Structure 1
Amino acid sequence: MNAPFFRLSLLSLTLAAGFAHAAENNANVALDTVTVKGDRQGSKIRTNIVTLQQKDESTATDMRELLKEEPSIDFGGGNGTSQFLTLRGMGQNSVDIKVDNAYSDSQILYHQGRFIVDPALVKVVSVQKGAGSASAGIGATNGAIIAKTVDAQDLLKGLDKTGACASTAALPATTA
């Protein structure tokens, strides 16, 4: 028997059997509709929120004082720009930090914190502890801190057309 002819026959028989099997299973199958419902956050993600009302009731002059009641969050360093945060014992490089949906992921100096915001201009701060939340962002292995600042409408609330906002390091912001 001729070996190349046998190999060619065996190859063509294998291909033909595969096409025959695919043609045989060509029947349409109707599937039932599947509805998936859920919330934005995973069940294991814990979110704590500091609101504008809570902030206005406090006399916080920096983010350390504003978030001092939050469990598992700690600030190290001195005051002002040298504050660095840890969330569940992990440093700020493993925490996604956003202010008005803009990432705060760079440092100018080595001992400078990444979360430098005047508490008088903060509207709401959301602290999400834990990894795995898609809304936390890319690279948030330990959670996220998301801050939204006040806008002009918040500063002029209750005033007609003009207003001003002034604060000192010892007193909270006042609107006149």
Structure 2
Amino acid sequence: MFSKSKGLLLLTTAFCAGTASAQDADSLFLGTLRIEGAAAQSLLGNTQITEEEIESRNPATVKDVFAGESSVAVSGGAAMAQKVMVNGIEESLLSVTIDGARQNKGAFHHTGNVLLDPSLLKSVEVSEGLAPADAGPGGLGGVLAYTTKDARDLLEPGDNFGGLATVTGGSNGSGLRGTATLFGAQGGFEWLLSTTHQDGDEYKDGDGDTIDGTAAE
């Protein structure tokens, strides 16, 4: 003898087991699907220059950051005057952001939009042509989204203070370039200070001709 509640439980269990067996018998394996986000974004004209790629290029200027990117060209001789173009469209006509902050053209019409040490860049996202809707206004021609490193990206595990100093030089106009960076973190607060100074002469082209306006100061 068993109660009605036990009989109902037994019938429910038998029904579930029968349903599972029927689903197993009707199942069909369609093969393994692999979705590659980077390849799909590249097809749409959206690419990302990663931190590893930036470090391998060891950039001294913005032009070095985009080395090897076929859709991106950088004009201008001096580092301060370099302007980025995506598929021939100059950056003042693009949506340019640094850590999400919109850059409205340059401080002066002969300067570029990114007046920072490129070694402090963590990544750069490039959208060619019509940008995604979440890129914000002004992205009809494309998007350049720069992301910089914060203090925790530069600190060694367990440290709360650090610094970096670099000196580079060249024989063709670039002169000497020095960079000093201090950074720290305590609790939820982070800070980073960086300064760059460069002095040089006007450089010469492959024919030995001096290019006016390329001296760095």
> TM bucket by the smaller chain?
0.5 to 0.7
In structure 1, the residue matched to 2:209 is none
Could you tell me which residue of structure 1 aligns to residue 85 of structure 2?
Answer: 86
The answer for the alignment partner of 1:134 in structure 2 is: 133
Residue 71 (structure 1) aligned with residue 108 (structure 2): no
1:74 alignment partner, SS class: strand
Amino acid across the alignment from 1:162? F
Query: Partner amino acid for 1:125?
Result: V
Q: Secondary structure at the match of 1:111?
A: coil
Q: Distance in 2 between matches of 1:58 and 1:143?
A: 23
Deviation, 1:72, is 1.3
User: How many Å apart are 1:58 and its aligned residue?
Assistant: 2.0
Could you tell me how far apart the structure 2 residues matched to 1:57 and 1:139 are?
31
Match of 2:58 in 1: 59
1:32-55 per-residue CA deviation (whole Å, 9 max, x = no partner) reads xxxxxxx9x989731111111121
For 1:87-166, list aligned pairs within 5 A: 87-166=86-165
Bigger radius of gyration among the two: 1
Quote how far apart the aligned CAs of 1:159 are: 4.9
Q: CA offset at residue 158 of structure 1? A: 3.3
- Structure 1 runs (4+) deviating above 6 angstroms are 41-44, 171-175
Q: Taking structure 1 as reference, are residues 159 and 117 closer, same or farther at Cα in structure 2, changes over 3 Å only?
A: same
- The C-alpha deviation readout for 1:110-155, integer Å capped at 9, x for no partner, is 2111123311110011111111411222011211010110001011
Secondary structure in 2 aligned to 1:163? Answer: strand
- What SS does the corresponding residue of 1:97 show, helix, strand or coil? strand
Alpha-carbon spacing, 1:157–1:172, altered in 2? closer, same or farther (3 Å): farther
Q: Count the aligned residue pairs.
A: 137
Instruction: Report the TM-score, using the length of structure 1 for normalisation.
Output: 0.67
CA contact (8 A) 1:155 1:165 kept: no
Instruction: Tell me the distance in 2 between the aligned counterparts of 1:43 and 1:82.
Output: 29
CA shift for structure 1 position 85: 1.5
Q: Which residue is equivalent to 1:28?
A: none
Aligned to 1:70, the other structure's residue is in SS state: coil
Counterpart of 2:25 in structure 1 is none
Which ranges of structure 1 fall in alignment gaps of 5 or more residues? Answer: 1-38
The 8 Å contact of residues 56 and 172 in structure 1, kept in 2 or not, is answered as: no
Measure how far apart 1:174 and its partner are. Answer: 10
Q: How far apart are residue 164 of structure 1 and its match?
A: 1.1
Q: Which runs of 5+ in 2 are unaligned?
A: 1-36, 170-176, 182-217
Q: Deviation of residue 95 (structure 1)?
A: 1.1
Structure (1/2) with the larger strand percentage: 2
Matches of 2:42 and 2:53, distance apart in 1 = 25
Give the conservation status (yes or no) of the 8 Å contact 1:45–1:131: no
1:87 deviates by 0.9
Question: In structure 2, how many angstroms separate the alpha carbons of the residues matched to 1:58 and 1:115?
Answer: 18
Query: How many percent of aligned residue pairs carry the same amino acid?
Result: 25
Higher relative CO (Cα under 8 Å, sequence separation at least 6) belongs to 1
TM-align CA RMSD: 2.8
Q: 1:143–1:166: structure 2 CA closer, same or farther, 3 Å change rule?
A: same
- In structure 2, relative to structure 1, the CA distance for the partners of 1:160 and 1:93 (3 Å cut) is closer
